[in-house]
Structure 1
């Protein structure tokens, strides 16, 4: 795995020196990933290029957020409605935000362990459709890197169903992952 730094949307290009200072102070014996949310880091301009170059120079992975399924979903559950809901009040610098960030998917490799954070919805068929692109990308990356995949849903109780839904497709392109893990039912706390 890797230690994962999730930055808020307000953390923008002017804050990169602080990020570099922080990352440079970390022990080199661990693997790190950084997830950004500021719009400037997704416009394919100079700010995004500076971010990618800085992460690459430090051997730090850029975490790739794929929240397309949850934002495309018809909200059948309160968890999905809540994930799609805009926060209040909006940040004047970056505009309104959603509880589950909606940013373009930039499949960028900056180090040896690219990580995809895939936020599925409560519609498993739709999740498979959105995940299809990763079924092409992950085997390509696997030739030169060791990618990580972080799957979750707005209602975390549906995460095991998401894993079970996607595992067969994932195994068809990456047979070395083996059979799906056994996911035991959690006992009630009360």
Structure 2
């Protein structure tokens, strides 16, 4: 079995860095050894990167047994950052969805009990405008305070540098809920190079970029390019911000997206290399899976 070596721990970087998925066919020799069965991909992922976007829960919430399986496979120190189901955030617009919320919370508690739960983020669609702030505030105040939360806003009127932005930031600060920054500038810096990038540019929003901190775990989702080096200048802008946040005692979470998911770990590696250069003496080593049959035999 191509199981991860002992000790089975996630990288203990001062910042959480992850990809938008934990299972990808193209990650052999980057995240997991060649010919590793799919059922073991999560275990290998959790010792390569220390967090992940749980985007699958946006589309459907699996049963409790599935969540228990995820918790059991995850390395010590790893954090799942699940996304709220769309039937709560988009279809119901945070209203008349008590049953769905209860079901989702029961699944999150399975991960929380295993000490593998990071902030769960509520991504609101572009039609969720500032006039719905009372609905958002009421929804957030009903969430259990013992679990960590984050909110991503997409309607442009939330970013007015005035009353709308100040009021939602005040609500989030009052509840100690983190704000998510979605940075798609690297993706839109030039026309697409391929069909995958063209599709990504057609789907991703151009949300204004902020450095707002409302709690202790500022979350940044960066969408790069398939030529990952094209995002370097944007990473160069974020690295000093992340370093400053760390100096303030914050624990940032950075997700590295690429139009082709196969390249997300490479994008993460570039971010980690830049952080290592900016913070000499801090270990930002990206673990690599063993490659040779001899190395794998030592793990059986």
Residue aligning to 1:90? none
Larger Rg: 2
d(CA) in 1 for partners of 2:283, 2:197: 29
The match for 2:132 is 15
1:36-51 → structure 2 map (5 Å cutoff): 36-51=153-168
Q: Over residues 48-101 of structure 1, what are the superposed CA-to-partner deviations in whole Å (9 max), with x where a residue is unaligned? A: 11111111111011101111001114311212101212xxxxxxxxxxxxx111
Higher RCO (C-alpha under 8 Å, 6+ residues apart) = 2
- Alpha-carbon distance between aligned partners in 2 of 1:70 and 1:57, rounded to the nearest angstrom: 33
Q: Distance in 2 between matches of 1:16 and 1:184?
A: 50
4+ runs deviating over 6 angstroms: none
Q: Distance in 2 between matches of 1:23 and 1:184?
A: 44
User: Could you tell me how far 1:170 is from its partner in structure 2?
Assistant: 1.7
Match of 1:125 among 212, 229, 235: 229
C-alpha distance in structure 2 between counterparts of 1:5 and 1:69, whole Å? 23
Question: Following superposition of structure 1 onto structure 2, how do residues 109-148 of structure 1 map, counting pairs within 5 Å?
Answer: 109-144=213-248, 145-148=250-253
Q: Does 1:80 align with 2:222?
A: no
Instruction: Return the match for 2:263 from 158, 162, 165.
Output: 158
Tell me the C-alpha RMSD between the 2 structures: 1.7
3-state SS of paired residue (1:181) = coil
SS of match in other structure, 1:34 = strand
Contact 1:141 1:147 in 2 (8 A): yes
TM-score (norm: length of structure 2): 0.55
- Structure 2, unpaired ranges of 5+: 1-117, 292-300
Residue 188 (structure 1) aligns with: none
Q: Aligned to 1:71, what secondary structure does the other structure show? A: coil
More displaced stretch, 37-46 vs 161-170: 161-170
Per-residue displacement from partner, 1:129-156 (whole Å, max 9, x unpaired)? 1111111100111122111111111211
Q: In the aligned structure 2, how far is the partner of 1:110 from the partner of 1:183?
A: 37
Q: CA 1:4–1:181 in 2, change beyond 3 Å: closer, same or farther? A: farther
Inter-partner Cα distance in structure 1 for 2:143 and 2:260: 33
The structural deviation recorded for 1:184 is 8.4
Contact 2:184 2:204 in 1 (8 A): yes
Residue 212 of structure 2 aligns with which residue?
108
Q: Partner residue of 2:285? A: 179
Query: Structure 1's 183 and 57: CA in aligned 2 closer, same or farther, altered over 3 A?
Result: farther
Instruction: Name which of structure 1's ranges 73-82 and 175-184 shifts more when overlaid on structure 2.
Output: 175-184
In the superposition, relative to structure 1, how do residues 2 and 182 fare at CA in structure 2: closer, same or farther (>3 Å)? farther
